Amino acid sequence: MTVTLQLSDEQATALEARAAAEGLSLEAWIVRLAEPQPAASRPRRPIWEIIAENMKNVPLEDLAAMPKDGASQIDHYVYGVPKKELESRFRRYVLLGRHHQQRR
C-alpha cells in the first residue's frame, strides 16, 4: 500500500526528527506506528476501585453536604425540575403489598 501525505516542511521536519530520535528512518518509523501495540501492562481495575481512589481526597464536609437523594432525584439537582414523590409511592407500594399478603 502506498500512502501520500501533504505535509508542510515544518511537519515533515518534525516527523523526521522524531524518527531519528529513535534511530529510525521516517519510513521505518511510520511502519512501526502501524504495527499492533501490546495490551496495556496495567491490569484493568473494577470501576468501584477507581471511584474510591478518586474520592479519597474529597473532604468529609463536602461529602456530608451532598444530597442523600441525589440518585433518585437527579433531574431535580441537575435540571431544576420539581422533586418526584418517590417516598409516598414507595409507602403506598409497601402498604398495598402488606394488605395484599394479609388477604391471602
The pTM of the full predicted model, rounded to 2 decimals, is: 0.36
**Axis crossing angle, helix 26-34 with helix 9-21, rounded to the nearest 10:** 80
More confident residue, 92 or 27: 27
Q: Kindly tell me the sign of the dihedral angle through the C-alpha atoms of 54, 56, 61, 67.
A: positive
pLDDT > 80? residue 86 = no
**pLDDT (0 to 100) of residue 101:** 54
CB 72 within 8 A of CB 84: yes
- Under 8 Å between Cβ of 82 and 76: yes
Domain ranges of the chain: 9-36, 68-104
Looking at the chain, the whole-number percentage of residues with pLDDT higher than 90 is 46
Question: What is the C-alpha to C-alpha distance for residues 64 and 56, in angstroms, rounded to an integer?
Answer: 14
Question: Contact 72/86 with Cβ under 8 angstroms?
Answer: yes
